[in-house]
Amino acid sequence: MERGERDDQTDDLDGLDPEDPEVQAFAAHRDRMRRPNSEATVEGMLRGVDDFAQSANRADGHRRLVAVLVVALILLGVLYTIWNALAFVVTTFAG
């Protein structure tokens, strides 16, 4: 059993249509709410990235555009930091 799972898996969705998209969305939301959100671990951080990616993939219109822009800005920040670090290393040793 993984952390955050309960022994008594009583299903509150008994009697509902498992093929209904609203029921599936609610079940997924409930599962996300039951998980512990320890952001201090690598697993917690990766779970947050996974949740963001899944929600960005489900988004439409301007919300998807905003998600793409957030990812692009993060990547630009990473590339800028790597470029500055490489420039520092080269100027330090070439000197």
Q: Where are the domains of the chain?
A: 16-58, 61-95
Q: Alpha-carbon distance 18 to 40, whole Å? A: 35
pTM of the predicted model as reported, rounded to 2 decimal places: 0.54
8 Å CB contact between 36 and 4: yes
Name the DSSP class of 2.
-
Task: Quick: pLDDT tens for 37-60.
Answer: 666 778 778 888 888 888 888 989
Which of the pair, 58 or 84, is modelled with greater confidence? 84
Residues 6+ apart with CB under 8 A from 92: none
Question: End-to-end CA distance of the chain, in Å?
Answer: 56
